[in-house]
Structure 1
Amino acid sequence: MTIQTILSLIKTFVTVGGGLWLVWGAIVMGLALRDHQGPQIQSGIWQVVGGGLIIAAAQLFLNIQV
């Protein structure tokens, strides 16, 4: 395995993890909106934002020059 292959694999796993985090945040936010729970809405929004940032960081990960 080359370094590039390993980095690509890491990028894929981190992207999938970020996507799952984003989807879970959307679920939390949706349930909180239904029940009118302010703190849970905020938590869901931050999870969605965090998932987006994780995905963005994973996409930039391959730009690292080894």
Structure 2
Amino acid sequence: MTIQTILNLLKTFVTIGGGLWIVWGAIVAGLAMRDHQGPQIQSGIWQIVGGGLIIAAAQLFLSIQV
């Protein structure tokens, strides 16, 4: 395995993890909106934002040249 192959594999796993984090944040925010719970809505929104940042960081792995 080359380093580039390992980086691509890592990028894939981190992207999937970020996507799952976004989905979980959307579930938390949706359930909180239904029950009108402000702090939980905020938590869900921040999870969605965090998932987006995780995916963005994973895409930066493509720019690493070894």
TM bin, normalised by shorter chain, reads over 0.9
Residue 37 in 1 paired to residue 17 in 2? no
Aligned residue for 1:65, secondary structure, equals coil
Stretches of structure 1 that go unaligned for 5 or more consecutive residues are none
Alignment of 1:47-62 (within 5 A): 47-62=47-62
* TM-score, normalised relative to structure 2: 0.97
Q: Which runs of 4+ in 1 moved over 6 A?
A: none
- Alpha-carbon distance in structure 1 between the residues aligned to 2:5 and 2:61: 12
How many residues are treated as equivalent by the alignment? 66
- Alpha-carbon distance in structure 2 between the residues aligned to 1:58 and 1:44: 21
Aligned to 1:16: 16
* Sequence identity percentage: 88
* TM-score, normalised relative to structure 1: 0.97
Aligned to 2:5: 5
The aligned amino acid for 1:20 is L
The aligned amino acid for 2:32 is A
Aligned residue for 1:62, secondary structure, equals helix
The aligned amino acid for 2:43 is S
Stretches of structure 2 that go unaligned for 5 or more consecutive residues are none
Q: What displacement does 1:58 show? A: 0.4
